[in-house]
Amino acid sequence: MNTKQRAMYASRARGVRAPYGLGVRQSSLPHRTGTTEDGVATQAASAACEAGKFPHVLVDADANRRLFEYERSVKDRFAAIVPMLKEIAAVQHERDFVERAQCIANTKLGFSLPQRMLDDAWVEQLDMRSLYAHCVFNVFHQVAAQIQAEQAQSREVLDQERYYLQDCDFHEVDFSPCADGRLKGLVRFVLRMPQGAVRRKSYAGAMFDVEANVRHWMRTEFYRYREGVPSLPDAGTRYLKVAVYHWSSSDPAHEGCAAHGSNERAAAEAALSRLIAFRRAIENSFCCGASVDILLIGVDTDTDAIKMHIPDADGAISLYRYVDSAELYRQTAGLDAKSAHARLWETIQATIRKEGWGQGNGAPHEGMLRLIGRLLINNMSQIDYVCKNYGGRYPDIGHNELFISVGEGFEEVQIRNLTYYAAMYTVEEGAPDLDIGVKIFKGLNVSRGLPIPVIIHYRYDSRVPGSRDRIVAQCRRVKAAIEARYPALVKDHLLLCAMTVQDREQGSGIEQVEQESSNHAH
């Protein structure tokens, strides 16, 4: 047996701890109330929060407190950027401006500003757009570095989650959510899974690249047969592909998935069609019973409640056969632990036995049922989180992202509405995703005179000679192509790019790539 595999099985007996994070007293958590124009949606959210006034045995209150402190600390850092820049703008004509500006930046944000930008301020107006983008990029790097340090201390939690997934008969769980920034916290918050335990790659409208995902499946299976990682070939485990669509219960006609015209049904159907195509591609291309399991999840981005679509015994999924976690949360509030778990199981079984449009052919395998039950329980903690901290509904029900992430994406920072993600290796193939992101940021930033910050990020393999140099060259090509696609925005300093690379080895740091000498913005 491979030594990595032996170590994994040796630790199976350990218990699973709550997600790692920072703590804060319950009394210090502010109560926030969301707003909505939809009275029905408000009533539903209120009903969940009314139930949440009582202690819920299925809710992890300690994890909720840690996650809220984590979310608040990250967002507070970004929120400090604009007030800091306003303070600097107010003193740009003072004699000791450069020293005062650097002092303000270091005090408020913890890093210095580009010296040449400040030195040139006496000649012309301070380039506030470039300074804003510089601050967004550097705050992100600060946050990512802090989170990486925390994750290094919680490897045991990560390993335990992997063991649990293998006990559910899955050697790989691969999520493809929509690229919408409101789903950025899907894994760590909405589903409460440790970062790194699952694969996550976003696409506009959850329309993932079937061929690219088949290649990842092949790579995963190769490692199983070659090294026995993450499970041995004869272990009987399977690859699980999960697509995640979303909608807005507050304003379903306008704040749903932009890639599908805010049409929930269209978003769900499109995600399901990709799952089916992925499974058929593998079954048609490989022999000996090669197959995968698929799962479809819907997220109400206003409340983080989910619809868990339960597969039948054949792995078939129906848009009409699902468990509503918000309803389950209300039904189990106030029950003791035994009764709450019984109600959860009864709800799942009733959904499996559903007749009519949602009727299926029996129940999925036991491992799938265990995972579904766990994710539903995890999500009830998130529903409680939104109730306690935001009055049951986020105040920013629409887009409120801070930058666009282009390339392979960042897994370190997972917080709702932090970044819009456009997956791509060339601008030509990722143009639809990128165009949607730019359109969103024209409303968020450009309309207020702020630039669109874009971070181009790709991973290299340090084991492969020359890999980093080639990836850096790719970053530069993509940057040039993005700037060529939006020349008017670039000319007015309303679209500014930074480039980063990262080794594929887990836990590797994010490395900034220097800009060409002709571009002094960052």
What positions carry a catalytic annotation?
180
Q: Around Cβ 369, how many Cβ atoms within 10 Å?
A: 18
Distance CA 242, CA 275 (A): 8
Strands 199-200 and 170-177: parallel
The length of the chain is 522
Q: What does DSSP say about strands 510-513 and 452-460: parallel, antiparallel, or unpaired?
A: unpaired
CB-CB contact of 413 with 402 (8 Å): no
Please state, in angstroms and as integers, the Cα–Cα distance from residue 254 to each residue in 58, 99, 337, following that order. 33, 47, 39
Q: Is 405 helix (H, G, I), strand (E, B) or coil?
A: strand
For residue 190, the 8-state DSSP code is I
Among the listed residues 476, 483, 521, the one whose alpha carbon sits nearest the alpha carbon of residue 501: 476
Which residues contact residue 139 at a Cβ distance below 8 angstroms, ignoring those fewer than 6 apart? 77, 78, 81, 109
> What three-state secondary structure class fits 429?
helix
Nearest to 119 by CA among 103, 96, 153: 96
> Per DSSP, what are the bridge partners of residue 454?
404, 497
DSSP state of 27: G
- For the chain, give percent helix, strand, coil, nearest 5: 50, 15, 35
CA torsion, points 147, 182, 86, 70, in degrees to nearest 10?
-30
Which residues make beta-bridge pairs with 204? none
